[in-house]
Structure 1
Amino acid sequence: MLDLVSSKTTPVFSLVAFAVIHSLTASLPFKRMVMKAAGPRAEKLYLPAYSLVAVLTVLPLAYQLYKNPGRILYKIPSPWRWLMVGGQVIAGILAPMAFWNAPHRFKIRSQLSGPQASEEGSLKIKGIYRWVRDPFLLSGLVVMLLTPFMTVNLLIVYLLTTVYLFLGSLHWETRLVAQFGDEYREYQKKVHRIIPELKGSVKNPGDKASE
């Protein structure tokens, strides 16, 4: 009985630990501290370091699920399994695209300074952001939904992860509103958070938009 409880609580504890560390390192107070300690170098080093920490802190969770997957709920047979894996790979590409299409959203100085009137500080909607507001949330949900097998412990972790991702998306957008002001509020009215726009894409004010 104790082993059964432990097999479920250990992955949850690993997920909570990851969430705490991930949220702390993404917080503005932590970024202010980093900027004060590292100076201008923080702009170039923070995102790679943040990504590395995220990977390292999620490894214990992956190990726990590997060692204690729990009872198998289902397995998708071939060839559907490989179609699902292909969908996961495509969804996984969304995250690096999101960084590539909007690097200014992740600059620490911009996040700390608030709305700016200059063109350099504008929202600059392009790439994946023309179709969906939060490609990270979309990517995570698609990867989880297209997992070709499911166990009890993995399902528990996925449900908790979904809640964490959604709450994180809400918090992230409050930061983007603080960073870009009314420009981002108008963008929220035109583009869905998760469901991609199918009829067209939203562009920058100077472009010809197809909305």
Structure 2
Amino acid sequence: MVSSKITPVFSLVAFAAIHSLTASLPFKRLVMRVAGPKAEKLYLPVYSLTSVLTLLPLGYLLYKNPGRVLYKIPSPWRWLMVGGQLIAGILAPLAFRDAPHRFKIGSQLSGPQASETDTLKIRGIYRWVRDPFLLSGLIGIWLTPFMTVNMLIVYLLTTVYLFLGSLHWETRLVAQFGDEYREYQKKVHRIIPGLRGSFRESE
């Protein structure tokens, strides 16, 4: 019984460690030094694939050992929740599309730039929410239309990890864009769309 709870947690910790390491600036600096400029284009696809592959064992463990069922949402409400999860699944691709410059390793490593190409450029979904990845992650897990003990433990730990990751990500964005991002933080909420209004789209 205890091992069925510890094993998914261990798998989540392993994922978090790998995910955090590969997202860190020292690791990106090492990759750029070893692989050169070509790492700029390859890093994000490889990073995303690695994240998915390291999550698969956790999904399998939860499937094999879900634990005691806490609740199941009946129809039609469950389909509304699934619909919300599908919408959340669209947010991450939109976030990549609307701000590809945020993920450029060169810009992340060099800090605030005077070049016009390295400005913040608030577009699309970022006009309404600062961290669409955090928003989509929270919606995706907490709109699951059923819940078990092991899922609840993993979801709670995942929520903490997502929030800590969001704080770290915004610290890096401040380092990357400087005062421009600090002003943006004052006008757009981290995860609640439109709570502080919206931001005018940049050219």
Task: Tell me the TM-score range normalised by the shorter chain.
Answer: over 0.9
- Residues 55-85 of structure 1: per-residue CA shift (max 9 Å, x gap): 0000000000000000000001111111110
Give the % identical residues: 83
- Residues 124-156 of structure 1: per-residue CA shift (max 9 Å, x gap): 000000000000000011112211000000000
Q: What is aligned with 1:44?
A: 41
Counterpart contact for 2:134–2:166, Cα < 8 Å:
yes
Give the unaligned 5+ runs of structure 2.
Answer: none
Secondary structure of the residue aligned to 2:71 is strand
Alignment equivalent of 1:109, drawn from 106, 109, 114 = 106
Q: Distance in 1 between matches of 2:194 and 2:163?
A: 19
- Residues 58-114 of structure 1: per-residue CA shift (max 9 Å, x gap): 000000000000000000111111111011000110001000000000000000000
Alignment equivalent of 1:72, drawn from 69, 72, 90 = 69
What is the aligned-residue RMSD (CA, Å)?
1.1
Counterpart contact for 2:124–2:201, Cα < 8 Å:
no
Which letter maps to 1:122?
T
State the 4+ residue runs in structure 1 displaced beyond 4 angstroms.
none
Q: Distance in 1 between matches of 2:200 and 2:82?
A: 31
Q: What is aligned with 2:159?
A: 162
Counterpart contact for 2:129–2:193, Cα < 8 Å:
yes
Secondary structure of the residue aligned to 1:39 is helix
The alignment status of 1:22 with 2:27, answered yes or no, reads: no
The alignment status of 1:188 with 2:163, answered yes or no, reads: no
Q: What is aligned with 2:143?
A: 146
TM-score for both structures, normalised by structure 2: 0.98
> After the TM superposition, which of the residue ranges 98-107 and 79-88 deviates more from structure 2?
79-88
Q: What is aligned with 1:83?
A: 80
How many residue pairs are counted as aligned between the two chains? 203
Offset at residue 200 of structure 1 (A): 4.4
Secondary structure of the residue aligned to 1:150 is strand
The alignment status of 1:92 with 2:98, answered yes or no, reads: no
The alignment status of 1:132 with 2:126, answered yes or no, reads: no
Offset at residue 201 of structure 1 (A): 2.1
TM-score for both structures, normalised by structure 1: 0.94
Q: Distance in 1 between matches of 2:195 and 2:167?
A: 23
Q: What is aligned with 1:209?
A: none
Give the unaligned 5+ runs of structure 1.
Answer: 207-211
Secondary structure of the residue aligned to 1:116 is coil
